[in-house]
């Protein structure tokens, strides 16, 4: 597991994908600290890593990254950790459009090349 504090190249992300799921990398974004954790079998493991690093659970959102996909299919918002009725999110996705856009901007900033 890895916390991306600066950036990760698309080539590095492809290697991570190949080592675990083949075409996909599970990730958790901290929208407050603008960090992304990657490289685990479960979003919950990445969530725990970020919590241990000082993140707050309310700021953590799960997603999947597809390094071989086209730009509009690169990020998939689908994770059990996203189900938070208390925060107005009743699905495995991220229902708030502004939050989705913030996460997409973070991914674009952290995953380069």
As a dihedral over the C-alpha atoms of residue 1, residue 47, residue 80, residue 65, rounded to 10 degrees, the angle is: -40
Q: Are 64 and 76 in contact (CB under 8 A)?
A: yes
3-state SS assignment for residue 74 = coil
Per-residue pLDDT of the chain (113 residues; tens, 9 = 90+): 999 999 999 999 999 999 988 899 999 999 999 999 999 999 999 999 999 999 999 999 999 999 999 888 999 999 999 999 999 999 999 999 999 999 999 999 999 87
pLDDT at 70: 83
What phi and psi values does residue 9 have, to the nearest 5 degrees? -80, 160
Phi and psi dihedrals of 8, rounded to 5? Answer: -135, 135
Domain holding 52, by residue range, is 2-112
Structurally, the chain folds into a number of domains equal to 1
What pLDDT score does 20 carry? 87
Residue 8 DSSP one-character state: E
């Amino acid at each position: 597991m890895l916390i991306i504090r600066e950036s990760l190249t698309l080539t590095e992300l492809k290697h991570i994908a190949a080592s675990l799921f083949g075409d996909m990398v599970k990730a958790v974004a901290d929208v407050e600290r603008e960090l992304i954790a990657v490289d685990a079998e479960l979003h919950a493991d990445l969530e725990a890593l970020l919590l241990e690093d000082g993140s707050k659970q309310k700021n953590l959102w799960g997603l999947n990254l597809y390094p071989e996909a086209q730009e509009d299919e690169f990020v998939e918002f689908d994770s059990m950790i996203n189900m938070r009725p208390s925060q107005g999110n009743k699905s495995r996705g991220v229902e708030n459009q502004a939050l989705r856009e913030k996460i997409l901007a973070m991914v674009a900033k952290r995953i380069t090349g």
